[in-house]
Chain A
């Protein structure tokens, strides 16, 4: 079993819709959760961090964490074609030991 699981996609949504990206993790002791966006040919860019249960909003992005169910999600409201990228979920459960998911490719269609 992988430490972090993501659906590889591609996830296709129309412009203006809500994109929902999901991630599950195996270690209940995980403490910090991150979402990265990676455009083709570019390096990953941090877009959200979340540390406690519930929702965290930043602009059009909302991260949701449910530690009891061991999942973390990312919602992108009013999706734009510029949001088309691969989204990586990352989890850490001790000092700087990171686990990255394989990523979900998002396509936002104009």
Chain B
């Protein structure tokens, strides 16, 4: 399976600032997703990163708060904007290779703490 590099692995940020998380894959992938996972909770899908167009956001998530870019088939970024302590979480990038019904594979995640 693909090697997925997610950066940074962790960060501690001040309230009101923004952080951009990068997801780099070593081969072209069909789909890229961004998830959030609170401690002890399950995965919550933020958005699907679409190559060359605007991301598709899930209910409760908006572009102004979580702008996403995907300039090509191997790279995506998620920005967490104007952060508050409620944004403290693990953010995960996942990818799908090939056609429909293939599994997702996850990056190692970014552990974000907001002071």
User: Interface size (B, Cβ < 8 Å)?
Assistant: 21
> Is B103 positioned at the interface, with any CB of A under 8 Å from its CB?
yes
Known: A92-B101, A96-B31. A43 touches B42 (CB 8 A): no
Please name the 8 residue pairs, one residue from A and one from B, whose CB atoms are nearest each other, closest first. Answer: A32-B101, A102-B42, A43-B106, A95-B100, A96-B31, A43-B109, A34-B103, A100-B43
Q: How far is the CA of A94 from the CA of B100 in the complex (A)?
A: 7
8 Å CB interface, A57-92 against B: 88, 90, 92
Q: How far is the CA of A39 from the CA of B52 in the complex (A)?
A: 34
Q: Which residues of B contact A (CB under 8 A)?
A: 1, 30-31, 33, 41-43, 45, 48, 92, 96, 100-109
Contact B100 A100 (CB under 8 A): no
User: Interface size (A, Cβ < 8 Å)?
Assistant: 21
25 contacts between A and B (CB under 8 A): A31-B100, A31-B101, A32-B101, A32-B102, A34-B104, A42-B108, A43-B92, A43-B106, A43-B108, A43-B109, A44-B92, A44-B106, A45-B106, A46-B103, A46-B104, A90-B103, A92-B101, A96-B30, A96-B31, A98-B45, A100-B43, A101-B42, A102-B41, A102-B42, A103-B42
